[in-house]
């Protein structure tokens, strides 16, 4: 009888992971998927007390050479890496 709480906990954990994976693939925008690894790393490092000061920003440049942070309309998903990237 004691295994039922463990089974319920494992089922709940698997369900949470499955929902998270579904939302990541089907609901999140390309920009949210781009930012998530940096956000998760910063959050986890902050929880353990490590300094989190190094990160990259995704910028776009207009025809006049002005830079700004990327917004949803600037980002599209790629099926494969562009030529010349490693």
Beta strands in the chain (DSSP E): 59-61, 67-69
Task: Identify any residues that bridge with 69 across adjacent strands, giving them in sequence order.
Answer: 59
pTM of the predicted protein model = 0.56
Look at residue 9 in the predicted model and tell me its pLDDT: 92
- What average pLDDT is seen over the chain? 83
What's the rounded Cα separation, in Å, for the pair 56 and 53? 10
Q: Rounded to an integer, what distance in angstroms lies between the CA atom of residue 13 and that of residue 19?
A: 10
Q: CB within 8 A of 30, min separation 6: which ones?
A: 72, 75, 76, 77
Query: Would the pLDDT of 35 be above 90?
Result: no
Around Cβ 60, how many Cβ atoms within 10 Å? 13
């Amino acid at each position: 009888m004691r295994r039922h709480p463990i089974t319920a906990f494992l089922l709940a954990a698997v369900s949470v992971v499955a929902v998270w994976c579904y939302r990541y693939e089907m609901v999140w925008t390309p920009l949210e998927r781009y930012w998530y690894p940096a956000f998760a790393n910063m959050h986890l490092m902050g929880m353990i007390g490590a300094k989190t000061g190094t990160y990259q920003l995704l910028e776009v440049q207009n025809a006049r050479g002005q830079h700004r942070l990327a917004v949803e309309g600037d980002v599209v998903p790629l099926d494969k890496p562009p030529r010349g990237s490693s």
